[in-house]
Amino acid sequence: MSVINVGQAVVLGAVEGVTEFLPVSSTGHLKITEGLMGIPVDDNAVVGFSAVIQVGAIAAVLVYFFKDIVRIVSAWGRGLRNREERHHHDYKFAWWVIYATIPIVIVGLAAKKLIEGPLASLWVVAGSLIVGSGVMWAADQMGRHKRGEDDTSFKDAMLVGSSQILALLFPGFSRSGATMSTALILDLDRVAATRLSFFLGIPALTGAGLYELKDALGTGVGAAPLAVGTLVSFVVAYGSIAWLLKFVAKHSFNAFVIYRIVIGVALFGLLTTGVLDS
């Protein structure tokens, strides 16, 4: 019997789609939702399922930013063939995304057992939600929001890409929250920070989903729940991306900070009272 049924897959796919790119921690929300539905959050099949449905959210990014991605990949291809094309920002940016993904891949492989074991605890999620909120608030206050997407550099990409490690090690911190906060500290404006977070997330999240696919298929999750969860994640994530880009163009991240604190405190309460098992 599958550890996750189709109905649960719909709910988890929707949660993944809504939260993957909002700075509120998709991993944290998935673990909370799994706990409330009685799904074992540390089960290898459940961990694999969560990684696979992320591919649906990534597919939404690929579709939403299709023209940008084609432009960047085309510039990269031209630069490989023609030295004169290598001064183009898009060519450089393509390499930066590749280089910036290397740190999280190394840490992810080296700390896999730790990430899927002790660090998968809901206590860690609750603490990370609250601590991450403080980091996000401070970054939004510190940042001067004066640099656009065309002003990004190799240093920006490496620092922002490496910050994904925080979310990898501490579920609840939020990959998008960590990357956006780092970008804001580097004085990128909120839209540029958000778009950079999207682009840097494509290889890391896609790779994680493909790597975990064998575990999800082979240890208790059937093909139907995987397919349904991924599809729902794609549809919901597409709408979430469109909404977030419009939101950050006119608003600060304070609403997300407050929301994260509320969820973190509520989770501590649920764990303390025994309503949820860590």
By the 8 A CB rule, do 256 and 139 touch?
no
Look up residue 102 and give its amino acid: I
DSSP secondary structure string, 34-103? HHHTT--TT-HHHHHHHHHHHHHHHHHHHHHTHHHHHHHHHHHHHHHH-GGGGGSHHHHHHHHHHHHHHH
Question: Region 159-175: what's the mean pLDDT?
Answer: 92
Any alpha helices (H) in 143-222, and if so which ranges? 154-162, 164-169, 175-185, 190-218
pTM: 0.87
Q: Cα 190 to chain center, whole Å?
A: 17
By the 8 A CB rule, do 172 and 125 touch?
yes
Q: Cα 59–199–67 angle (5° rounding)?
A: 70
Question: Region 233-240: what's the mean pLDDT?
Answer: 97
Question: Quick one: CA dihedral 182, 183, 189, 190, positive or negative?
Answer: negative
pLDDT at 44 over 80: no
Q: How does pLDDT run across 61-104, given as a tens digit for each residue?
A: 999 999 999 999 999 999 999 998 899 999 999 999 999 999 99
